[in-house]
Chains A and B, each alone.
Chain A
């Protein structure tokens, strides 16, 4: 791990770029399945630009982050420590979790909130291969009729919706592209 890798790659103009990134993240979560572009950071491998930008936009010293084995490297830990200051924790304590879908398993470990406070739930930042071809149809809040999406599996998200208003929320990242999948979305196989 070189010092350069850790110290570089953050937002060049944090207030403005984080604001633009948040708007893309908001649109993604508010319109599930619709692809948004997230740029502004250059995180170390294997973090995608979209995942790195999400971390710098949403995470800080108050948000415990879990790194799945696919992303738990000294370079990633050092980058997050320098740019976010977020503590790296186990899956059950995490407010945010980063990794490939396989590495994040079992997702039942993550916080889904409580009946009184459903917002105390984890947000999963899932690295994927790409946004195509679609294998799922999404319906629900944020979607006028239905919207196609590429998801790593179907059953886990059907189960997550069944627990509404409890559940985890997901971002799926590939390169600089991102889609959101809140717990409120109904997922069906295409």
Chain B
């Protein structure tokens, strides 16, 4: 039951129209950051206000919403955003990736391949990939206009000169459809190969920075690299200690005060699904009573 003190999905209709127009222009120019008039939301900047506004503009009463934070469905940010839309839009919520029609995410792409009919909404802190190289908005805008991305390659080159490899491990810059360099939000570079050719629509919302951008389905997305230092999607060199998966992205968790550690899938739905199917890892008991 939605809370009738609010309009459907919290935002007023004129705000939603403004956001919807920005989303459509973002889809039409993949990777370009469309300015929008971000609203104050009942949560602080940095807690996903951009993603929440994009989700609010997309939700229909029939949608099933999943929210993840670093892959997990049960963290504070994910739980509170899910509760927010259950209350203000009355939509059904789920933790199962394949049951969801709209998935709002902070810093991960689900392990399971997404399908047509799904929308993935990213929460973005700093949408401008050139921002740490050039602080002036007027200059970065001009650099995008002129396709002047040499500075980004210099940055990656300096990584190699200093560390022997490209040390950027998250928010790894990509080039979209051979035109715009885009920040994929702080997803691990392990997730970068999933950005391109995805069947689902990908929308990116940055609330504080007031930008929306998008990737249509089956989009051409290339992680920037060099011929002699090709892009590598890396992960921790372990198997999940709970479900035994050797292909999923892992979190390292400190298990006690004596320095023991464990690795487990950051995608909680993927990990739980594998354990339900009987897969076991180093630290999970064979049979759960």
Chain A residues at the B interface, C-beta cutoff of 8 Å: 14-16, 18-20, 22-23, 25-27, 29-31, 57-60, 62-63, 95, 115-119, 121, 123, 140-144, 164-165, 169, 182-184
Asked if B216 and A31 make an inter-chain contact with CB atoms under 8 angstroms apart, the answer reads yes
- CB atoms of A18 and B25 under 8 A apart: no
Binding site for A on B (CB under 8 A): 7-9, 13-14, 16-18, 20-30, 32, 34-35, 57-62, 116, 141-142, 144-146, 177, 179-180, 199, 201, 214-220
Across the interface, do A16 and B60 meet the contact criterion of CB distance under 8 Å?
yes
Shortest beta-carbon contacts, A-B, top 4: A15-B8, A182-B28, A142-B216, A115-B145
Number of residue pairs A-B, CB distance < 8 angstroms: 118
Measured CA separation A165–B214 after assembly (Å): 14
Q: When the two chains form their complex, are residues B216 and A123 in contact, meaning their CB atoms are under 8 A apart?
A: no
Docked complex Cα distance between A19 and B90 (Å): 14
Q: Is the CB of B141 within 8 A of A121?
A: no
Q: Are A29 and B13 in contact (CB under 8 A)?
A: no
Given contacts A116-B141, A182-B216, 20 further A-B contacts (CB under 8 A): A15-B7, A19-B8, A22-B16, A31-B116, A31-B217, A57-B17, A62-B18, A63-B21, A115-B146, A116-B144, A116-B145, A118-B25, A119-B26, A119-B29, A140-B177, A142-B218, A165-B179, A165-B180, A169-B28, A182-B27
Minimum distance in angstroms from B30 CB to a CB of chain A: 5
Main secondary structure of the interface of B (DSSP, over half): mixed
Residue in B closest to A95 when the chains form the complex, CB atoms:
B21
Q: Is A26's CB under 8 angstroms from B201's CB?
A: yes
The answer to whether A60 touches B218 (Cβ under 8 A) is no
Complex Cα–Cα for A84 and B30 (A)? 28
Q: A23-B60, A30-B217, A142-B216 are in contact. Are A15 and B29 (CB under 8 A)?
A: no
